[in-house]
Structures are given as structure tokens and as C-alpha cells.
Amino acid sequence: MELTETTYSPLRTSNLAIGYSRGSRLNVVQQHLDLELLSGEMVCMIGPNGCGKSTLLRTLAGLQRPITGSILIDGKNMETLSAQDRAESLALTLTDRVEVDKMSVYEIVAMGRYPYTNRFGKLTEEDRMIVAEALAQVHLEAKAQRYISELSDGERQRAMIAKVLAQSTPLLFFDEPTAHLDLPNRVSIMLLLAQLAKTTGKSILLSTHELELAMQVADKLWLMSDRGVQVGTTDQLIADGSFENVFRSNQFSFNAETGRFIVNKPF
């Protein structure tokens, strides 16, 4: 049997438990997670607030330690990776708003090259080409020399995506990349990320509250709730009733036939 390129998985977890420990108090948010990301696919994490989307993303990114279990990046245990190795394997944007005064878009995107540049962050010809390509991929070439503080929220998010692309990693994580954006920008960012997964072969994992948008553009969904993480395509998760179970509420209902949420008007 021929191995196709999509069977390669740059990230895999085994029996992972995530959460917080403060002193002896342990707060397990999710456990027994056996997840994997394939190259070239975009996975959207959805689920109600508090189900652990951000915690999972930060744990997979190595920003916080798992409670138990392991995360394998390119077959190597995350715990054994140096900060440098990690920066060459995965890049991410967070919900932390970047408030930097007097830094150009180009300088911010070029920071994506930091894992590869010398002590003074000097860009080589190759680095410049990668930065230019990243800017082109998010259609921000024309704004490269503008201060990042002058950009609109949508453009700023695209600049942060370009920074992540410039880091040249097989794994890209985005924590709520469409937060604070208007509808056209939400759609355009999601489509951009879906397209990047296709064209670059990178694995993209993002968390979002945009259920209907995620259901339409994601290759796969991680549907998170207090009952665990269900993995599948939108059609699979609709068919097995997972959506209805997770988003059960007396204020709205999920219509499996149209794949849409309907608000139950009480008046």
C-alpha cells in the first residue's frame, strides 16, 4: 500500500490529561485524549466556554505542562524538546492583543525568523525571501512598512498570521483568530487559514466560537465538552448527534438537516 503524504502526522497525543495544578490542588479539564493532527489539514476546536479549548491549545504549544500523558511532535516527546526545537516545530498566535508602538509590520513578521537568525536578529537573503512570501500569503505586501499599530484589527490578525508563517514550522496554532473581527474579516481569516493548510501542507489547529463558520471550512472538528473531545468531520458529528448533545439548550436547538442553530424565541 502506498503511503500518501496526508498520512504523516506531525503531532500526536497519547492519554493526555490537561488542566491546572496549584500546589496540591489539581483541576483536570480534559483527560484520556488521544488526538492527532495530519499535515495539510485544518482542525477547528469548538465547544462551550470552559471546556478547555485554550488550555488544550496552550498545552499542545508547550506553554503549559500536561498533567499526565505525552505529546509527540514529529515523533519526539515535547518534554524533551528545547525551546529552540519547539520554536522550529510549532508557531502560534494567542488571544493576547499585541500592543507594540513604532514597530513596522515587516519587523513584526521578521520576528518569525528569530529561531533561525543570529544573536542580533540579522536577516539573511533567505530570511528576507521567506518574510516577503509570508506577507504575500496574507496579502499585506502593501502595508509592510506601516506601523502595526496603524492597522485595522483584521489586517493586524493577518500580520500575526504572516509572522507565524515566517517561522516555517509544520504546525500552526491559532487561539481564537477571529475574535474581535467583523463578519467579512472572520470569513476571510478562516478561508485564508483553510487555504494555507491546503497550499502549504502545514497542520493548522485553531480554537473558535464561530460554530457555523468552522463547520463549513474545517477539514475536521474537535468538538469539546465536559464529556471529552469528539473528533470527526462536520457531517460525521452531525450524523452521530454529537452537536445536539453538546449544544443542548432550551434557548436554541440544532437542526441536523440544515446544520444550523435555531434560536427558540420565548415570546
CA distance 229 to 221: 10
**C-beta separation of 164 from 92 below 8 A:** yes
Structural element, H or E, at residue 171 = strand 171-175
Closest separation between CB of residue 13 and other proteins, Å? 19
CA distance 70 to 26: 18
The residue ranges that bind other proteins (CB under 8 A) are 61, 63, 83-84, 86-88, 90-92, 94, 96, 98-104, 107-108, 111-112, 114-115, 117, 119-121, 167
Closest separation between CB of residue 91 and other proteins, Å? 6
- Tell me the backbone φ, ψ of residue 192, rounded to 5 degrees: -60, -45
CA distance 79 to 113: 23
Beta bridge partners of 36: 12
Q: Which is nearer to other proteins, 48 or 121 (CB)?
A: 121
Closest separation between CB of residue 245 and other proteins, Å? 33
Q: Which is nearer to other proteins, 96 or 257 (CB)?
A: 96
Cell output for 224: 469539546
Q: Which is nearer to other proteins, 53 or 86 (CB)?
A: 86
Closest separation between CB of residue 17 and other proteins, Å? 21
The two beta strands, 42-46 and 36-37, are unpaired
Q: Which is nearer to other proteins, 170 or 213 (CB)?
A: 170
Q: Which is nearer to other proteins, 193 or 246 (CB)?
A: 193
Cell output for 2: 502506498
